[in-house]
Copies of this chain bind each other. A is one copy, B any other.
Amino acid sequence: MGGGVGRVLMIFGSLTDTDNISVDSITLFVSLLCACIVIGHLLEENRWMNESINALFTGLGTGIIILLATKGASSRIFEFNEELFFIYLLPPIIFNAGFQVKKKQFFRNFMTIMLFGAVGTGISFFIISFGAKVLFETLEMGYFELRDFLAIGAIFSATDSVCTLQVLNQDETPLLYSLVFGEGVVNDATSVVLFNALQKFDLTDVNSRVVLKFIGNFFSLFITSTLLGVLIGLLSAYIIKKLYFGRHSTDREVALMILMSYLSYIMAELFDLSGILTVFLCGIVMSHYTWYNVTERSRVTTKHTFATLSLIAETFIFLYVGMDALDIEKWKLVSNSLGKSVGASSLLLALVLVGRAAFIFPLSILSNFFKKSQSEKLNFKQQVTIWWAGLMRGAVSMALAYNQFAKSGHTKQPGNATMITCTITVVLFSTVVFGLLTKHLVRLLLFPSNHNSTTVSSEPSSPNSMTLPLLANGQESEDIEMDGTIRRPPSLLMLLSTPTHTVHFYWRKFDNAYMRPVFGGRGFAEFVPGSPKEGSIN
């Protein structure tokens, strides 16, 4: 018994005794997030900065202050936590990307995205693993197992979808955005299969049967992850459409959408599927069906809530990576071999550049080969931009590196510590340097001849989009475009020249005939004026 009322104090004054560090660090982190958002707004018009670089620098600055304040003892306030990252920070970012993505663009480039995401990631993985194995021996980096080199390949092949969202603009370069971001989503599914396969199979005996099994695994994982996302998305649409008939409750609708989108991610993780792929698909389905079944107010709220949660999570990640970069413990361990560390970092950066080039250019040519229309082919400038925009490595690489080379955040072995500092160096360098230059590169390569980047969205934007002012944020105008497409029946010429348009036409027919009557969606959600307030803005 002993402590008596004293222990009761612990919860109310909470946190004075045991948990003080946690309240401290939450306070600091929330303050820094506020600062990042304000600074991000102030620097919005600045051509050189973007939000992630701003958060990185804020994190670095805070790290320096903590270092000075603790007299060199520590630069960070808590250890990198994979659970925090994968369970709480990543889902809102990927869901929001699916929710706000231009669906037409995404599905039109489906094959190219699959090529880049699945085959491309494999190529990059093997080049980086093999390159590191050969070149690290010349650097005398210490002893690494074969599994470590494969892990290095995986760490540095992991495209950072979050960075992509920041440097490419969906409205300016819709084609490139959908290709690079879509590749990132498929990349995740590939990685899960890759790791599962490497875990299960004997690495010494790689034969065709193993490769076939690997490919089979990939497709079954890809399909089940997709189906789970679609299923939960449709379920949310159905529940809201059926149960809410006659009266609406904005808060409950919003809560259901938030909870069910998260449910899709966490269920995928539970079943060892690709949560990123599942939640992305769930976002797409929800924006296509569920979003049209809710009240006007719920639409505005969900659209901005998802974007806001994503913004906070992104800022949090970059802030943390910046703060962690100065972790003194690891730098002390590698201080004796600083030259080696710099050498290894440059080497890995070079391998990242080569590994990506090795699949972007050949696969683009392959993809172009299957495209009939000249306007849908990727020209060289676009290929360079795709190559460049996917070079950034971010929090996913960090999480992988910590998991492979550090046990619960601490590194004892110099070789392992070097790998952690190398990863940090590559992440910082690629995010800051490549990130800073991407905007300019895009402008330089694509916008002098203003039409290359917008080749695909050839239909004129419908003037109708102005009649939905509150909601017209790309999503509606796109849907109206789609309707615009429908009004023209597919001619024989169109079928020959643009096969994807034809697939799209039949999908819309099926959607209108079978899906929308059941699951709701644009034009199919019964309008029920639940309260007098609902009707007045229509």
Q: How far is the CA of A44 from the CA of B247 in the complex (A)?
A: 11
Do A195 and B38 touch (CB < 8 A)? no
Nearest residue, chain B, Cβ from A20: B270
Q: Which chain B positions have C-beta within 8 A of A413?
A: 1
Q: A1-B145, A9-B199 are in contact. Are A239 and B83 (CB under 8 A)?
A: no
Interface centre among A41, A260, A304, A311 (most CB of B within 10 A): A304
Docked-complex contact A11 and B400, CB < 8 angstroms = yes
Tell me the count of chain A residues lying within 8 A, CB to CB, of chain B: 95
Cβ contact within 8 Å between B30 and A192: no
Question: CB of A469 within 8 A of chain B?
Answer: yes
Residues of B within 8 A of A244 (CB): 41
- Of the 9-residue stretches A446-454, A510-518, A529-537, which lies at the interface with chain B? A529-537
Selected from B19, B87, B192, B256, the residue in CB contact (under 8 A) with A83 is B19
- The smallest C-beta distance from A143 to any residue of chain B, in angstroms, reads 8
For A23, the chain B residues whose CB sits under 8 A away are 87, 266, 269-270
CB pair B469 A536 closer than 8 Å: yes
Cβ-defined contact, B250 with A82, below 8 A = no
* Complex Cα gap A406–B300 (Å): 45
Report the copy number of this chain in the oligomer: 2
Residue A385 interfacial (CB < 8 Å)? no
> Which B residue's beta carbon lies closest to that of A250?
B304
In the complex, chain B residues whose CB is within 8 Å of the CB of A188: 12
- Which of the residues B1, B24, B308, B470 comes within 8 Å of A251, measured between beta carbons? B308
Residues of B within 8 A of A249 (CB): 41, 44
When chains A and B are docked, how far (Å) is the Cα of A403 from the Cα of B8? 6
Tell me whether A377 is interfacial, beta carbon within 8 Å. no
Instruction: Check A157 for interface membership: any CB of B closer than 8 A.
Output: no
Additional pairs, 5, CB under 8 Å, beyond known A1-B416, A23-B270, A470-B537: A1-B144, A15-B86, A41-B243, A301-B303, A301-B308
Q: What would be 14 A-B contacts, judged by CB atoms less than 8 Å apart?
A: A4-B150, A5-B199, A7-B403, A8-B151, A10-B403, A11-B86, A16-B272, A40-B252, A42-B243, A250-B304, A255-B308, A255-B311, A297-B304, A300-B301
Q: Which residues of A contact B (CB under 8 A)?
A: 1, 4-16, 19, 22-24, 26-27, 30-31, 33-34, 37-38, 40-42, 44, 82-83, 86-87, 144-145, 147-148, 150-151, 154, 188, 191-192, 195-196, 198-199, 239, 243-244, 247, 249-252, 254-256, 258-260, 262-263, 266-267, 269-270, 272, 275, 296-298, 300-301, 303-305, 307-308, 311-312, 399-400, 403-404, 413, 416, 469-470, 472, 532-533, 536-537
Closest 7 CB pairs of A and B: A4-B147, A469-B536, A301-B304, A254-B308, A469-B533, A251-B307, A9-B195
